Amino acid sequence: MSTSKKRFFLQWSVIITGIAAGIIGPLLQYFGNPKNMGFCIACMERDIAGALGLHRAAQVQYLRPEIPGIVLGALIASLLFREFRARTGSAPIIRFVLGFFTMIGALVFLGCPWRALLRIAGGDLTAVAGLAGLAIGVYVGVYLLKFGYDLGRSYRANQLVGWAFPVLIICLAILCFVPVQFADGGPIFTSTEGPGAAHAPVVFSVVGGLVVGMLAQRSRFCTIGSFRDLYLMGDTHLVRGVIAFVLAAAGMNLLLHQFNLGVTGQPIAHAAHIWNFMGLLLVGLASTLGGGCPARQLVLAGEGDGDAAVFVLGMLAGAAFSHNFTFASTSAGVSTLGPVAVIAGVLVCLVIGLAMREEGAK
């Protein structure tokens, strides 16, 4: 492919990805997913953690098919275009911690960066403070990058390293279609009320995830990356995809009569604006240090990146801790310990950002 054709492809592929995700997200909620949660990587991983029994919050337990769909879509695309490459070795335990605190921040806000955009596209003005926090968190992360923060390079690894996470995801995908209860009163758990009981048909969820995963793998779509590239280089390439995502989602919500402009009465949201801001500030900071937003980490894990897989496992652990130790918010508001966990997360990320500096950096 010539340079001009490659540039044209890159410019439009991210916009196409944004439009596709912006259309599929509202359709998923129209067909059964919780309102303004057509795609929320954090919420869906939290529900999966609950389905596996890692936490016992009965209202948020469901084996969300969209997550296996995204990973397998990225896997298929990377294999088709010969971009699957097993690699690992870049400070995995630090990435686990960053994934852990990304989830803490997301569940205080009640959503990942994708859900923040979808909430705004559905008219939820409580998400505006969160999006502002996300932008500031990425800005702090970029400052640390300029200051010399570096987790080191990853290295080519045995193919088994690259395939380990996709194989686990394939097992989850099978369980989505073949419900199994492994013990009386035990997993797989499925909510009978609350957000976990609201879900689109399995086939539509998987196909939606596959489409978005394949497109995101080809385009490198990333909400965190859009802010990072804008701050570092003034590059608006990824920003265009994010704008396309919001506009497409808003258009679909209007078409499906799902748009509800306001601050009060928004689904699965709270109006504690300070902690909406701080929750996504933590997400922006931790994800910048980790190398991508939660959705981007799933895509990277699907194409063989063992470090991204560790980040995702950190998020699952963060989901379990958030509900077992009552860090997570609810529609009624922020929990007592949620702000403490967010402040602790910001401090830990700052320590990581300052300590993990490239040798010789000033």
| pLDDT over 80 (residue 358) | no
pLDDT of amino acid 9: 67
CA 8, distance to chain mean position in Å, is 27
Average pLDDT over residues 48-60: 96
Residue 240 has a pLDDT of 96
pLDDT, mean of residues 266-275: 96
Question: How much of the chain exceeds pLDDT 70, in percent?
Answer: 96
pLDDT for the residue 138: 98
Q: What is the mean pLDDT of the chain?
A: 95
User: Which pLDDT belongs to residue 89?
Assistant: 84
Name the percent of the chain lying above pLDDT 90. 90
Region 155-159: what's the mean pLDDT? Answer: 94
Residue found under tokens 């950190």 = 314
Average pLDDT rounded to a whole number, residues 154-171: 96
Number of separate helices (H) and strands (E) present in the chain: 14, 2
Summarize pLDDT for 179-224 with one digit per residue, the tens: 888 888 889 999 999 999 999 999 999 999 999 999 999 999 999 9
Q: Is 90 left (phi over 0), alpha (psi -120 to 50) or beta?
A: beta
* Cα–Cα nearest to 37, from 147, 95, 92, 116: 116
What is residue 49's predicted lDDT score, i.e. its pLDDT?
Answer: 98
Task: Please compute the mean of the pLDDT values over residues 115-129 and round it to a whole number.
Answer: 97
Whole-number Å distance between alpha carbons of 279 and 268? 15
Instruction: For residue 79, give every residue at least 6 positions away whose Cβ sits within 8 Å of its Cβ, in sequence order, or none.
Output: none
Which whole number is the average pLDDT over 149-170? 95
**pLDDT tens digit sequence for 299-353:** 999 999 999 999 999 999 999 999 999 999 999 999 999 999 999 999 999 999 9
- Asked if pLDDT for residue 359 goes beyond 70, the answer is no
What pLDDT is attached to residue 361? Answer: 54
361 vs 127, more confident? 127
